[in-house]
Amino acid sequence: MKKRILAGFALIGAMALAATGCASGAGGGTASGGGGGKVITVGFAQTGSESGWRSANTESMKDAFSAKNGFKLIFNAADNKPENQIAAVRSFINQGVDAIVIAPVVTTGWDDVLKEAKDAGIPVVLEDRTIDGSSDLYKAWIGDDFKKEGETAGAWAATNLGSKATNMVVLEGTTGSAPAIDRATGFDDAIKGTQIKTLDSQTGNFTRADGKTVMEGFLQKYGKTINLLFAQNDDMGLGALDAIKAAGLTPGKDIQIITIDATHDGLQAAANGEFNYVVECNPLLGPTVADTVKAILAGKDVPKAQTATDASFTPEQAKAALPDRKY
């Protein structure tokens, strides 16, 4: 049966992996050390380098899959092109790595290459994003609950703006990616029955540059009628700030802005009063992924899904959180 793992049912990794002797929760901790055994070769197929969140995630993965922790990491960034990513996974299989970790650019198109990995006896772990496909084809997923992030963002909009006529534009993430799909579903569910109307919704590919360009288009088309922007990540929201200011409008006041990720730059925009609400998506998944790979290769049972815990921030909360922000 084909079914995408939904993040909500997951166990927190600390509980399950503690039982295997590897302690860390999804989104925190440090990967356990090498222990003097054989070096574990892991191929990591990253999406690309589209956002601040992605940079933090890549750093977390590289730190956790370090030589000090007993790994040799073969890293590939696919420039957000699904075909590049599938080619990278095939190359990992051909190189005979011990395990493969994938942050899938999009949810579809995975069956053939995952079957090839399974036939080669190479375990696959998904990190960050989920896929549509049989869950038999991978051992575990570690990431954030994108639908819940969208719901949290939408609940803020419903509470603060839902009882008056509000015109919203949306900057979507990469088309076909799990966060773009699930955040939209969660947000739309949360604003059902309110007076928030979606004027337009287009992809900004999770990048600042595209966030700016698409927002410029929205402003040309809808001008001052826009009251609310939901940007599915901080970077697109940050790009949109330039477009909004260039149009002579004040972000956070003329147009209220909600974003997701809560990177340092996103929280700084909230602390400056330019973002009104920011929902966290924790990128520090490396230690849990590394411990999970080690447990799988040691023949231990691992949870099928481990979900990081995410907070959310008003401007005041962002100000308080900034000094200790790790990404």
Residue with token string 């051909």: 94
Per CB under 6 A, 230 contacts ligand AHR: no
Q: Which is nearer to ligand AHR, 98 or 280 (CB)?
A: 280
Residue at token pair 């921030």: 313
* Neighbour-count burial for 51-70, b at 16+ CB within 10 Å, e otherwise: bbbbebbbebbebbbbeebb
Sign of CA dihedral 173, 179, 185, 190: negative
> Which of these segments, 49-57, 62-70, 104-112, 301-309, binds ligand AHR (CB under 6 A)?
49-57
For residue 233 the two structure tokens come to 């990540």
Does residue number 147 form part of the binding site for ligand AHR (CB under 6 A)? Answer: no
CB of 23 to ligand AHR, least distance (A): 25
CB of 147 to ligand AHR, least distance (A): 13
Of 201, 198, 199, 191, the C-alpha closest to 162 is 191
Segment near ligand AHR (CB under 6 A); pick from 25-33, 50-58, 116-124, 296-304:
50-58
Residue in 24, 76, 233, 259 binding ligand AHR, rule: CB under 6 A = 233
Judged by CB under 6 A, the number of residues near ligand AHR is 13
Say whether residue 128 binds ligand AHR (CB under 6 A).
Answer: yes
85 binds ligand AHR (CB under 6 A): no
Q: How far apart (Å, rounded) are the C-alpha atoms in residues 172 and 179?
A: 9
Compute the least distance from the CB of residue 206 to ligand AHR, in Å: 4
Listed ranges 12-20, 45-53, 113-121, 215-223: which one lies at the site for ligand AHR (CB under 6 A): 45-53
In three-state secondary structure terms, 305 is: strand
Contact status: 239 vs ligand AHR (CB under 6 A): no
- The yes or no reply on residue 281 touching ligand AHR (CB under 6 A) is yes
**Closest CB 177 distance from ligand AHR, rounded Å:** 7
x/- mask, ligand AHR, residues 188-227, rule CB under 6 A, reads ------------------x---------------------
Q: At its nearest, how many Å lie between ligand AHR and the CB of residue 129?
A: 5
Q: Which of 129, 139, 208, 294 binds ligand AHR (CB under 6 A)?
A: 129
Q: 228: which strand partners?
A: 168, 256
Q: Are strands 312-313 and 166-172 parallel, antiparallel or unpaired?
A: unpaired
Residue given tokens 């595209």 in the structure block: 210
Three-state SS for 167-234 is EEEEEECCCCCHHHHHHHHHHHHHHCCCCEEEEEEEECCCCHHHHHHHHHHHHHHHHHHCCEEEECCH
Q: Does 46 bind ligand AHR (CB under 6 A)?
A: no
How far apart are CB 155 and ligand AHR at their closest, in Å? 18
Does 50 interact with ligand AHR (rule: CB under 6 A)?
yes
d(CA 321, CA 172): 26
280 in contact with ligand AHR (CB under 6 A): no
Q: For residue 219, what are the CA distances in angstroms to 67, 161, 200, 298?
A: 49, 20, 11, 55
Q: Give the footprint of ligand AHR on this chain (CB under 6 A).
A: 50-51, 53-54, 128-129, 179, 206, 233, 235, 260-261, 281
